Structures are given as C-alpha cells and as structure tokens.
Amino acid sequence: MPEPIEVRKVPILNVSDASGLSDLIDKGEIEADRVIAVIGKTEGNGGVNDYTRIIADRAFREVLADKGSRSAEEVKQVPIVWSGGTDGVISPHATVFATVPADSAPATDEPRLTVGFAMSEQLLPEEIGRVEMVSKVADAVKVAMERAGITDVADVHYVQTKTPLLTIHTIRDAKSRGKTVWTEHTHESMDLSNGTTALGIAVALGEIEMPTNDQVMHDRSLFSSVASCSSGVELDQAQVVVVGNARGVGGRYRIGHSVMQDALDQDGIWESIKNAGLDLPDRPHWTDLQGRLVNVFLKCEVSQDGTVNGRRNAMLDDSDVHWHRQIKACVGGVTAAVTGDPAVFVSVSAAHQGPDGGGPVAAIVDLGDDPTGYVPPAE
C-alpha cells in the first residue's frame, strides 16, 4: 500500500523563487527526500520559448538537493511539471506532493489521496500526433496507476503529464532519418502533443477505444475527463503523474473531478470540489470553503466554433494576442472568482481534454481538523 500524501500549495514570489518549498521543509511539514511531485504555474509566455519553466525547475530541484540526501540524479527523476503563463489574475505558484510516514497521518478506511508516477518509452518526433505516442502514453498511465495503488479506473481523478513538443532541431532530426512529422509549426505542436497525450490517457482509463491517426486533433468527441497535458522542450518522454483516491492509504486529503462544459461554467468547478468530498450549499460561495480547498487544476480550450454561450467571440481571429493567452486569462478569472484564490492551476491547450470549448477540472481538498488551504485576507 502506498504511503499517505501531504499536499501543499506555495506561492512563487519571482521567476527563480523556491522559498515556499524551502519553508515547508524547514518547518518540518514535509521532508525533502519524500517530495514525489511538483505541479506549478510560472509567469512566462507559455510558449515554445518559455524559459521560466526551466528556471523554476532548476530552483525547485536545487532546494530538494540541498535539503535532502538524494543524489543529483535521483532529484532529477522527481516529476516536476510546469505550465507557463499566468495571464490575467492567475498567480504563480506550485503544488507540492510528498509522502509521510503512515503512523504520522490520520488513519481512515475512507478514500484518500494517492499519487503514482511513471515515464513512458522515448517519444520520437515522428510519433507526436500519431497512434505510436497514444500507445506509449497509455502504457505509462497504467504503470503510474499501479504505483499509486489504484485498481479501479473510476478512482483516477487527475492525470498530469509533460511531453515533448516539436522544435526545429527535432523536426530536422526526423527528416534526417527519412521520417515525416505531423506539423512543422512548433507552436502548433504544443496543442498536438497535449491532445495526443490526452488520447493515450483516455485509452488507458477505458474512456475511448484506440483512435486512428485521422482522428487525432480532428474528432473532438474523443476526450478524457481527467487529463491535464502540458508539453515543452525539456524532455523526450511522457512524464505521467496519476492522482486519485484509494482506501486504506490514510491521510487528510481527497481529490475529485468534473468537467467545465464551456469557459464560463462555474458549476463544473464547484462540482469537482463537491466530488472531492466537501459538503457545500446549493449555491456555494468561496467563503464556504473555509480553507479546505488546497487547489484546483484546470485545462481550457477555445471553442472551435468561436462562440461561448451562444455569443460570438474573436479569439481565433485575433492576430495580436494568441487565443492561448486569452482563454487562459478568461478561465483563470472565472476560476479565481469561484475559489477566492488567484493561485489556481489553469493551463491552456486542451484538445481531447474535456468537451470542445471546455475542459477537465480536478480539486484537492483537506478533510483534516486544521485545514491547510488558502484563506483570503479579511477585508
């Protein structure tokens, strides 16, 4: 049985700041060697050349190395997933997952948070956007599930991944070996990598059958309701973190999920929080959370028909500000209005992640006696 999980959200005060992680360790709230995953938002442009992800990654790994006993190579293997771009009111932050000894966590037979991690086989540039990538991701998700102690796919509520996108260098590499790539537009390959990965998650969890190459990025009726996929230049494998619930693990945290049907669907966010185990009124307000919400994790995507709630918008036609940034700012504002906390994980490029124009939502709550979630300052 996996060990109980402690999960905390910390602010990032500047692009290279990891003081929040350092403080958690110094206060004894987590141990450096027990950190098993970090998922965070950095303040860059969210694009192919968003190097804030690399800067933040280095800062957090340096703290783990300095304050723990793991070797540099061991620290390098800790899954740390960064989503770039804090457009609008989204605040830079990181959510830290760490194991704790079983005898230090509340014992319960109720479902509690569990986390599993796996790396896929190497993903070649010519496989991005094709069924070979779908298959490799699906295999890694199954391994991560097993490591999390999850046997029922219904207990998986959030799968966070990081996968490679295409760069000029990797496109050239594929061509040198006589291979073709799905696209030669590197920014488009971000959406492509995310969408293909989501299909792999959906296959692993039995949400869909194995798709064809022609369905990738074209048949938006195929999606996962728990996938949250990011991509970048810093790896050549799928990094997979499966988060769910299991009985007998113990601890104080629990996760739930739902989907937003469109960019304004606040009910989808609230439903994920209720699904995690909080008892809320029929028309809840962020003041009802009382510090029990640790974080919410969302993916968002502009609707392919260019409408929200029946009204036309111009995001897809805007040549000045890419739709990635516009929809992220929009959904970030909607989410912060629900939670009362601008430090929310909202990531764009949600092809095959939730319904078209919407996206998956996962929520982690603290069911302990002294909840550790954010409480906004009193007015």
CA 123, CA 136: separation in Å to the nearest integer?
A: 8
Quote the DSSP letter at residue 343.
Answer: -
Q: What is the dihedral of CA 339, 344, 350, 355, to 10 degrees?
A: -10
Strands, DSSP E only, in the chain?
5-11, 35-42, 80-84, 93-99, 112-122, 156-164, 227-232, 237-246, 253-260, 293-300, 307-308, 311-312, 345-348, 359-366
Amino acid found at 331: V
Token pair for 239:
């990094």
CA 121, CA 131: separation in Å to the nearest integer?
A: 14
Q: Which residues pair with 35 in a beta bridge?
A: 98
Strand, helix or coil for residue 353: strand
Q: Establish whether 27 is a catalytic residue.
A: no
- Residue whose pair of structure tokens reads 């991701």 in the numeric block: 137
Closest among 103, 106, 99 to 147, alpha carbons compared: 99
Annotated catalytic residue, options 9, 162, 299, 328? 162
Looking only at the bridges linking them, the beta strands covering 311-312 and 307-308 are antiparallel
Annotated catalytic residue, options 189, 225, 230, 231? 230
CA 196, CA 130: separation in Å to the nearest integer?
A: 7
Token pair for 13:
């005060």
Strand, helix or coil for residue 206: coil
Per-residue b or e along 226-264, where b marks 16 or more CB atoms closer than 10 Å to that residue's CB: bbbbbbbbeeebbbbbbbbbbeebbbbbbbbbbbbbbbe
Q: Establish whether 162 is a catalytic residue.
A: yes
C-beta of residue 77 within 8 angstroms of C-beta of residue 25: no
Residues with active-site annotation: 162, 230
